[in-house]
Structure 1
Amino acid sequence: MHVQDKYFAYVFCIYLYVLFVGVFGSPSTSTTSESKSCIIRNAVITCNYIPAAIPVGTRTVSLINILEQTLSKGLFSTYNWRQITKLEISASRDLLDEHNTVEVFDSLCFFGLNKLEVLRIQLEDTHTIASDSFIGVENLKRLDLSGCRRLNLENVLNAIDNSNVVSNLQYLNLAFLDSYHDGITLDERFFKVIADKKVRELDISSTQIQFLNITAFILNCAHLKHLNVSNVRISEFEGDWKPQKLCTNLKSIDASNAVFPSKVFPVERFIERNENLLIIFDWMKSMLFIQNVNSLSLAGIFPKKSSISIYNITVYVLGANIFKLGVLHLGNNNFNRVDLKLTIPGCTFKKVYLSGCNIHYLHPDAISSFILLSDIDLSRNKLNSMMAEDFNLFEKMFKNLSYLSTVSLASNGLTRLPKYIFAYNLRLEFIDISDNQITEFSCDVNHLTHLRTVDVRRNRIQVIDAATFDTFDKLNVHLLLQGNSIQCSKCNSLAFIKWLKNSASITTYNLGLQCENEDSKKIFITDNTINEIQEICNRPKVIIAICCASVLALISVVAILFQIQRCQRQRKYQREMEDRIALIREGADENKFVVFLSYSSNDDDFVNKYVFNQLNENLQQKIGKDSNLVCEGDKHFQIGRPIPEQMSKFLRKSSVVVILLTDHYIQSVHCRNEFDYAILLEKPIVLMVKDEIDTEMMNGQMLDLYEHRTRILFTKENDNYIPKTSWENVCASIIELVNN
């Protein structure tokens, strides 16, 4: 080797040594001014100062507890700094308390970071960013200023409001911004800058918003995909919620725990008891700008101290069919009682979260319009109160949700589940009823062929019957059982304990299960446990005769009680029929007519020949009243009056609506109006059918009645129509529906 080459190698080694010591220092993690250090961990360099150079290939640098109070131009000027794509600047709590971190980002301070894509600044002391600080970082895509509590929004806007600065910005995080002062103002300029930069994700969570211009947001939201306004507190806003403009790309809004002015959510309207209230809400006119939003979180938006109780309110939502909202979070709102009939034609909800809402009562009609719903979370409520109030209604909770795959009723204080609560949910895969007071698994799941997991952890289950665990085996269901009071002290638990010990799906997911033996001690379930229970079962059986006699006596008592109950039911039915007939005889306005006969004028001949007189005469004979008991439009509508007015008037005066359902009826506008108004008035409807009908022309409600309700049918014999049942039976059935 030449002397010159040796000299060069010697100098190069010294250079590497100096560079290593100068850049990385010792492996200490100290942050004092006397000890500058850098640590490499998982391809991330963490330093407590700004090194002059960094190793080749470095992509991520984290600067923690740097003591410079002003970052000026030239600190990131060496070649290797140009290769980094992510830079984080933060400080520990002790340095923040001493106000000994970066306060000012000076002009061109980031100049040289040509490839930087992510910049995260979390410094409470920072109060100034120069208007040209971000020049030179044209590839920046994510700017995170969360935690800059002293930084003014106007200062941030001045730094990015330039067409040549951060032109590729996609994500902007301003959480906690200026929270040490009076808060921020989101005016037209702010949203114009967001629009000009084509920001896709905006996070302004945990801020105090002194003023919000709603119109400016809606007019400049075209590029936004995700908006986070959780935990904000909005003092005042102005503008129109209803400009006919879409936030075309907006997919998610997180407004959880946000505090809005009272005029946005007037809670006082719902706190008081409201009854028989009809609300029609046009979504297109009020919320068009969120048409494409898929996920909306309004969790915890109502004041914590407000208990919202809704009594007998009907809400009809228009225009929902054009919206794409699939995920709705409403958890942690104190709804208490939701006695609500909510009708949303075309509803697109697929996941609804109502966890932690303190719900004591939830009417099934409040969620029955969510026909596409796959997930519903009702955990951490108090639905045990509804079970006690109306068990049968609770059993119908999920009746209309045929696409439901996941349901959570955890932590509701439930002592049992209705047997048929999941009767209509054939796609159900996951049931969570953990953290309740359930003592037995009583609901029927035999038909749920897609069911994979049932979570009953932390309940009070002692034994599961053989039919149930046979069903679990057949369906290959994973049953989660930890935290239950499983018993192994009685013979009736033998089959259950054997199943727990030997079922593959159980042993995999319930390792370490324990049961309580005859000595009230908790023991692990093993083969020895099974032997002990078998010994209990093998003990001599005593007093067999007494037991048999007891059983026979019990059977006799049950038979007697059954007969008594049957007689009582018959007497009750007779009394109810007499009461209804008496009510009709009194001729109150709402019962002036027993039947409102609805049919198409094209079927006049059939009605006059086969229906009207026969029906009216049999009703008169059944009730004992000579007056006309069947209302017919052509006979009773006043001449010259508006048809809708007359229809409404006589529908209200009629107890039951009988419809001659034909293709002519389905195609008639007036007939459909009569049908729809009868549905609105919740009148009992009886269908009468004489010929084949094209069911494809029916609307949903008419088709539902046609397919699921018994009908009056006619058969044709020798060109004459004859009812398949007697008119006496028809009239009796109609009277049963009066005021039912």
Structure 2
Amino acid sequence: MLLVVSLEKTLVNNVQYDYVFGRTCSHLQTLNVNAIQLPSKTMGFCKEKGSCVNQTFSVPNIDIFFIPLISITSFSMKRFCLQMYNPLWEDCHINLVTNLQSNLRNLYLDDTHFSRIDLDFTVNGNANVLDKLELFSIQRSYVEYINPKSLRIFKGLRHLLLSDNNLGQMAKSNKPIFESLLTHNPSVETIDLARNNIVSIPNNFFNNTNYMKHISLSGNSISQITFNIKSMGEIEILDLSHNSITSLNQKSRDYISSNMSPNFSVLLDGNPLSCAVCEDYEFIQWLLLDSTPVHNIQNLTCRNQTLENEQITDMTLNKLKKMCDEPLERRNLIIVSIVAPVVSLTVVVIVAVTISRCVKQMNNMRKIKKAEGLLQRGTDAYEFAAFLAFCSNDEHFVYHHVKPNLEEALKSRLSTQRELVCIGDNHFNFGKAILDESVRCIRRSSLVICLLSDAFFMSDYCLTEFQQAHHMDKRIIFFVKGQIDESMLTPGMEVLYRNQARVLWSEDDNREYIMKTTWDKVSDSIVELIADTL
């Protein structure tokens, strides 16, 4: 009973099927026709520049040939039709008419140089003819494109070996189709895409592969993990060795960490890992974690700042941390060198300003004490605290609202009972010139209070008293009775009126005059103004 037949590198001139052949091969399990050369009349597409482009074939009555081979579980057809030059299977439809069910488990088509595989293969219009196939290999064949429909006949496919092709071209120019490559093969456990010039794998490439155990992407140009592996609960190996990975970013690390498979390992051997810049710190720290799934960490090396390869250890991490801290320390030093003088200068200024304020406050207090003493003694220009200038038309207002209240407030402020407010009617010497007497009284007063009203502006005596006080450089306070016609202010009055605070009276609904401050504040202001002249 024949179980294995190898026709590797055999030149076949003629093929005949007879009863003896059928009985001999009825239990055949493995058939090897690697590099076999068949007659062109048998396999017409096996000729130079052979192809199947935009064609549909129907092959009837193939049972005679396949009955002897129905038991085959492994079929190897490597280096088949080597005389062809980049054959194409593009938009090609082949339908076999048979009642047989294949037991084929393994199919090898390596080194066949099929650059494009766009083949829709059916049997009696049904695509389940090879649903028992578990392994399909087409490696080292310069394949640039595979239509996902070409793999749908392999419903039970578990191992898909596509290494050493050029599927990176498909990933680049036909990304959506490449992303759906495994759509019809949800049972795949192993996929080998090593050395395919792949730069990145689309995010959803492995979406339907919940049984995936081994992914080989070795020898490509991948720099980051761009695909989702979270749903692969049974994955064991993600081989990213010999790619272009210098450092895995946070997103790549999150993709790896999202997988909860207990036996999950990632291979990073042969990558140009970097430990030369501060940005590599988090990646190296992640590699050294006890929970990292990266395999063989003790043998991984990285390129350091001096372009030398060193083994990745805690010392590597410490050097990177120091590298990251140096700019911070340098920045802090610069900040300190800039801020320290500024702070010192600020402190000096604050202290100086504080001392100046304290000195000024002490001087003010000293002057106020001196003014209080002078007013209490009442000599020379301090006999009266204030000379009150007003028009006789406002006499009733003065004696009811101003004179008694001001006198009482000043006596209380200075702790004295002597008279402190000078009024012409009370203190002029009778029989003498009014102007002379007003000058005498103003000189004996520390400051002058002018009660401004429309009547005040109409009085020559009032205006003269203002002029006398102004010429003697006496401090002048304006008491303003109600609304006044500001256009009647003299130029000298207007300057003071615009620039100095005033004591205001306004009329309420009952035509009573209400002062808008307190007499205590007025008396304090009078004493402070007198102190300012010392």
Same fold, judged at TM 0.5 (above): yes
Query: Could you tell me which of 176, 179, 186 is aligned with 1:395?
Result: 179
Q: Is residue 2:42 matched to residue 1:264?
A: yes
SS at match of 1:457: coil
Q: Is 1:458–1:483's contact at 8 Å kept on the other side of the alignment? A: yes
CA distance in 2, matches of 1:384, 1:320: 39
1:247 positional shift: 3.4
1:506 positional shift: 5.0
CA distance in 2, matches of 1:295, 1:287: 14
CA distance in 2, matches of 1:419, 1:542: 41
Q: Is 2:267–2:295's contact at 8 Å kept on the other side of the alignment? A: no
SS at match of 2:68: helix
Question: What is the letter of the counterpart of residue 198 of structure 2?
Answer: L
Summarize the alignment of residues 157-556 of structure 1 with structure 2, pairs less than 5 Å apart: 223-239=1-17, 247-267=25-45, 271-272=49-50, 274-282=52-60, 283-304=62-83, 306-319=85-98, 322-343=101-122, 344-347=127-130, 348-464=132-248, 465-472=252-259, 475-503=262-290, 508-538=295-325, 539-540=327-328
Q: Is 1:235–1:261's contact at 8 Å kept on the other side of the alignment? A: yes
CA distance in 1, matches of 2:51, 2:134: 30
1:386 positional shift: 1.2
SS at match of 1:366: helix
CA separation of 1:242 and 1:535: change in aligned 2, threshold 3 A: farther
Question: What is the letter of the counterpart of residue 328 of structure 2?
Answer: P
Q: Is 1:334–1:359's contact at 8 Å kept on the other side of the alignment? A: yes
Equivalences, count: 321
CA distance in 2, matches of 1:313, 1:358: 19
SS at match of 1:301: coil
CA distance in 1, matches of 2:136, 2:75: 10
Q: Is 2:46–2:83's contact at 8 Å kept on the other side of the alignment? A: no
1:508 positional shift: 5.0
SS at match of 2:328: coil
SS at match of 2:78: coil
CA distance in 1, matches of 2:149, 2:137: 17
Which residue of 2 is the match for residue 189 of structure 1?
Answer: none
Q: Is 2:192–2:216's contact at 8 Å kept on the other side of the alignment? A: yes
1:239 positional shift: 4.6
Which residue of 2 is the match for residue 57 of structure 1?
Answer: none
Q: Is 1:321–1:345's contact at 8 Å kept on the other side of the alignment? A: no
CA distance in 1, matches of 2:47, 2:295: 52
CA distance in 2, matches of 1:358, 1:242: 39
Question: 1:100-147, CA deviations, whole angstroms, 9 ceiling, x for partnerless residues?
Answer: xxxxxxxxxxxxxxxxxxxxxxxxxxxxxxxxxxxxxxxxxxxxxxxx
Summarize the alignment of residues 695-734 of structure 1 with structure 2, pairs less than 5 Å apart: none
CA distance in 2, matches of 1:241, 1:353: 32
CA distance in 2, matches of 1:447, 1:422: 9
Question: What is the letter of the counterpart of residue 428 of structure 1?
Answer: M
CA distance in 1, matches of 2:191, 2:99: 24
Larger radius of gyration: 2
1:414 positional shift: 0.7
CA separation of 1:474 and 1:325: change in aligned 2, threshold 3 A: closer
Of 434-443 and 511-520, deviating more is 511-520
Q: Is 2:239–2:267's contact at 8 Å kept on the other side of the alignment? A: yes
Q: Is 1:466–1:495's contact at 8 Å kept on the other side of the alignment? A: no
CA distance in 2, matches of 1:318, 1:378: 29
SS at match of 2:320: helix
Question: 1:301-332, CA deviations, whole angstroms, 9 ceiling, x for partnerless residues?
Answer: 21255221122112234447611011101101
Question: 1:531-576, CA deviations, whole angstroms, 9 ceiling, x for partnerless residues?
Answer: 1222344333999xxxxxxxxxxxxxxxxxxxxxxxxxxxxxxxxx
Question: 1:368-422, CA deviations, whole angstroms, 9 ceiling, x for partnerless residues?
Answer: 2211000110001111121222111001111111111011001111111111111
CA separation of 1:508 and 1:382: change in aligned 2, threshold 3 A: closer
Q: Is 1:378–1:409's contact at 8 Å kept on the other side of the alignment? A: yes
CA distance in 2, matches of 1:479, 1:242: 53
Q: How high is the TM-score relative to the length of structure 2?
A: 0.55
Summarize the alignment of residues 21-32 of structure 1 with structure 2, pairs less than 5 Å apart: none
CA separation of 1:510 and 1:321: change in aligned 2, threshold 3 A: farther
Question: 1:659-700, CA deviations, whole angstroms, 9 ceiling, x for partnerless residues?
Answer: xxxxxxxxxxxxxxxxxxxxxxxxxxxxxxxxxxxxxxxxxx
Question: What is the letter of the counterpart of residue 196 of structure 2?
Answer: N
CA separation of 1:400 and 1:271: change in aligned 2, threshold 3 A: same
CA distance in 2, matches of 1:319, 1:492: 63
Question: 1:260-285, CA deviations, whole angstroms, 9 ceiling, x for partnerless residues?
Answer: 22223223579356543222335535
1:291 positional shift: 0.7
Q: How high is the TM-score relative to the length of structure 1?
A: 0.41
Question: What is the letter of the counterpart of residue 260 of structure 1?
Answer: L
Question: 1:579-603, CA deviations, whole angstroms, 9 ceiling, x for partnerless residues?
Answer: xxxxxxxxxxxxxxxxxxxxxxxxx
CA distance in 1, matches of 2:297, 2:186: 30
Question: What is the letter of the counterpart of residue 345 of structure 1?
Answer: N
SS at match of 2:310: strand
Question: What is the letter of the counterpart of residue 405 of structure 1?
Answer: E
SS at match of 1:338: strand
Higher relative contact order (CA 8 A, sep 6+): 2
CA separation of 1:542 and 1:511: change in aligned 2, threshold 3 A: closer
CA separation of 1:406 and 1:318: change in aligned 2, threshold 3 A: farther
Summarize the alignment of residues 613-632 of structure 1 with structure 2, pairs less than 5 Å apart: none
What is the percent sequence identity of the aligned residues? 19
Question: What is the letter of the counterpart of residue 44 of structure 2?
Answer: P
SS at match of 1:498: helix
CA distance in 1, matches of 2:37, 2:53: 28
CA separation of 1:395 and 1:542: change in aligned 2, threshold 3 A: farther
SS at match of 1:271: coil
Question: What is the letter of the counterpart of residue 329 of structure 1?
Answer: Y
SS at match of 1:540: helix
1:496 positional shift: 2.3
Q: Is 1:515–1:522's contact at 8 Å kept on the other side of the alignment? A: yes
SS at match of 1:279: strand
SS at match of 2:166: coil
Question: What is the letter of the counterpart of residue 447 of structure 1?
Answer: S
Structure 2 unpaired stretches of 5+: 332-534
1:252 positional shift: 0.9
Question: 1:429-469, CA deviations, whole angstroms, 9 ceiling, x for partnerless residues?
Answer: 00011011111121110100010011111110122233023
Of 483-492 and 433-442, deviating more is 483-492
SS at match of 2:288: helix
1:337 positional shift: 1.3
